[in-house]
C-alpha cells in the first residue's frame, strides 16, 4: 500500500507539477483531439493540483477522475478539455456552470466569457438556479446526467448552447446541443469516462 503524506507543497513540488501539466497537454489533451490554442493555454495556466485534497495532489494529472470530499470527483483533464473546446465560450456569453465539486471548470472558463455564474449539483437538482437577465446563453455541466432538471433549462435563453456529460445504460458520453422549444436537444459526441451525477438520474419506472 502506498501512503501519501500530507505536507506543505514546496517550490520543488511546483516545478514538478508544471512538468506534469505540460505532459498532460502533450500526452492526454492533444492525442484526444484537444488542440484549440485557447483551451491548451487555459489548462496550462490553471494548476489542477489546487483543486484536489492535499493527499491527492500527486495524482492530479493522471488520466482518470480524482476523488474529492463528499462523494464528488474531479473529472479527467481530457473531459474538461473537450468540454471547453465544444463550448467555444464568447466574450458576450452569460455562462451557467453546474460545478462537479472541484471548482476547476469555473476557473478555466471565467476569463473566456462575459459572465460566469456557478451553482452546485445539489442546488441545480433542487431547482435553486439564480436568474440572469435575458437568460444564460451557455450551460456547462461538470458531470454526466441522465436528465437535465427543468429549472436549469428554464434559466436559459432561447437557443442557448449546452455542453454536458450524459449517461445511458452505464455508458457516459460528452454531448452538446441547444435549447429547442424549452427542451435540450443534445448530440452525443464522444464516449469518455465522466463522473456520473446521481442527482440528475431519471426517475425509475415502478414495477412489482
> For the chain, which domains are there?
11-200 (3.40.50.150)
Cβ neighbours for 96, distance < 8 A, ≥ 6 positions apart? 117, 119, 129, 132, 136, 138, 139, 140, 152, 155, 156
pLDDT tens per residue, range 59-97: 999 999 999 999 999 999 999 999 999 999 999 999 999
pLDDT tens column, 191-205: 999 999 999 998 876
Q: Can you give the pTM of this predicted structure?
A: 0.91
Please indicate whether residue 173 or residue 202 has the higher confidence score (pLDDT): 173
pLDDT band at 3 (very low <50, low <70, confident <90, very high): very low
- Long-range Cβ pairs for the range 84-87 (8 Å, 24+): 84/36, 84/39, 84/42, 84/43, 84/108, 84/109, 84/112, 85/33, 85/34, 85/35, 85/36, 85/39, 86/163, 86/174, 86/176, 86/189, 87/138, 87/140, 87/161, 87/163, 87/176
Mapping DSSP to helix (H, G, I), strand (E, B) and coil, where does residue 163 land? Answer: strand
Spacing of C-alpha 91 from chain mean position = 19
Amino acid at each position: 500500500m502506498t501512503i501519501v503524506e500530507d505536507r506543505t507543497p514546496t517550490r520543488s513540488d511546483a516545478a514538478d507539477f508544471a512538468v506534469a501539466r505540460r505532459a498532460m497537454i502533450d500526452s492526454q489533451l492533444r492525442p484526444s483531439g484537444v488542440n484549440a490554442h485557447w483551451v491548451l493555454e487555459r489548462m496550462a495556466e490553471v494548476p489542477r493540483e489546487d483543486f484536489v485534497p492535499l493527499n491527492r495532489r500527486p495524482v492530479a494529472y493522471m488520466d482518470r477522475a480524482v476523488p474529492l470530499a463528499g462523494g464528488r470527483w474531479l473529472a479527467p483533464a481530457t473531459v474538461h478539455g473537450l468540454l471547453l473546446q465544444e463550448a467555444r465560450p464568447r466574450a458576450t456569453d452569460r455562462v451557467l456552470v453546474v460545478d462537479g465539486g472541484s471548482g476547476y471548470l469555473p476557473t478555466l472558463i471565467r476569463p473566456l466569457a462575459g459572465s460566469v455564474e456557478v451553482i452546485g449539483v445539489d442546488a441545480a437538482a433542487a431547482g435553486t438556479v439564480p436568474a440572469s437577465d435575458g437568460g444564460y446563453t451557455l450551460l456547462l455541466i461538470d458531470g454526466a446526467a441522465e436528465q437535465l432538471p427543468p429549472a436549469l433549462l428554464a434559466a436559459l435563453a432561447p437557443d442557448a448552447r449546452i455542453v454536458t456529460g450524459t449517461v445511458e445504460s452505464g455508458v457516459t458520453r460528452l454531448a452538446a446541443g441547444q435549447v429547442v422549444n424549452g427542451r435540450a436537444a443534445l448530440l452525443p459526441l464522444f464516449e469518455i469516462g465522466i463522473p456520473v451525477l446521481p442527482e440528475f438520474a431519471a426517475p425509475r419506472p415502478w414495477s412489482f
